[in-house]
Amino acid sequence: MISKKFVLKIIVELLLHIIFWIVVLVCYTYFFGHNTDNISYVFSFSLFLMPVTIGTTYTIINHLIPKYLLKEKYLLFLLYCIYTIIISAFFITISFFYGLIFLSSLKLEGMAPMTRSPFFLFIAVYFVVFVASAFSLVRHNYKSNSANRELQHKVLEAQLKLKEQELHYLKMQIHPHFLFNTLNTMYGFALKKSEETPEMILRLSNLLDYLLYQVDKPLVSLKQELDHIKDYVTLEKMRFNDTLDVTMNFEDVNDSIHIAPMLLIPFVENSFKHGQIRNKKLSIYMKLTYINNVVHFSIKNSVYSSSENDDGIGLSNIKKRLSSLYNNNHELLISKDEHWHSVELKLNTSKTKNL
């Protein structure tokens, strides 16, 4: 069924075409009426010239331009333009004889001065054809650019939705993994009926608040991320007792520095999960500095030389999140030797506002 919007569009376009050709007729009458008072002659002559003007114009803008020029078939376009000019020149010449024979009774001096030479007729007709063709090309270019912008907008929207879904999926993978390790620690203390269990519950409550409510925000303060790292480390110290040696060297940062949530904690979690006791200690060293809008975070944990390099799901997911969120605005270096598993991360926070 044809919509009202479509019908209205056709009517408006038809009216615009009619107005354009009325303007052309008026211009013809004014141009050919130069130095003559015989308006009836000039109007009749201009009216007779209109069909060849209209035919030539629509042949070029509706057939030759879209079929050959816009498809970059330049030789064919040029060839058919020559054919069109030859045919139109024939009808323009007929218009000249129409004015000479029927309007001035074969008296050249009876013709309007501007119609006595076919040269002026050619100029008038082909000028109108040129203007209409130029307008058609501009209109097509505008429509093409609008269509490209709309397509790009749709592609960007689709990419954004896909990115959001991917990040949501990655977060859903991180949440159960993070909770599993933390609850495992609490379970061990509950079995022992330790007096430190209430403190563990408080620490876990803080972590859960961060995990369930803050992590869905696009950005959190770096200070907030570091505070929850400290809560996590406190919980792990309770679990490991004297077998844990953790050193945290965090530079004081203000609340104006923001990063994506859950970017640093998985590295810490990974160190506890895959780190190994060496010389009766699980040793973990962390350091964070903030220099020229760049966060420098490093962490290393003790391992055996014979241990396998298993990064776990947490570290695998954080790599994907870094790639999606920070793209070229981060550097991640992971290395391992016979004693240490090390991670060094650099984040350019000057680009964080665009996340």
Q: pLDDT tens for residues 128-162? A: 999 999 999 999 998 888 888 888 888 888 877 77
pLDDT at 85: 94
Q: Decide if 148 is inside a domain.
A: no
Which has more pLDDT, 176 or 2?
2
Q: Taking residues 112-126, report their average pLDDT.
A: 91
Percent of the chain residues past pLDDT 70, beyond the cut: 88
Q: Decide if 187 is inside a domain.
A: yes
Q: Decide if 92 is inside a domain.
A: yes
Show the domain range for 259. Answer: 154-354
Q: What is the CATH number of the domain that holds 197?
A: 3.30.565.10
Q: Taking residues 304-313, report their average pLDDT.
A: 60
Q: Decide if 143 is inside a domain.
A: no
Residues 168 and 270 in one domain: yes
Name the β-bridge partners of 289: 296
Count of CB atoms situated within 10 Å of the CB of 21: 15
Does residue 213 sit in helix, strand or coil?
A: helix
Count of CB atoms situated within 10 Å of the CB of 216: 10
Which has more pLDDT, 119 or 108?
119
Residues 235 and 340 in one domain: yes
* CA 251 – CA 108 distance, rounded (Å): 99
Residues 229 and 81 in one domain: no
Q: What's the CA angle centered on 181, arms 288 and 229, to 5 degrees?
A: 20
Burial of 223 (0-12, 13-18, 19+ CB in 10 A): middle
Domain count, the chain: 2
Name the β-bridge partners of 245: 283
Domain boundary among 62, 91, 116: 116
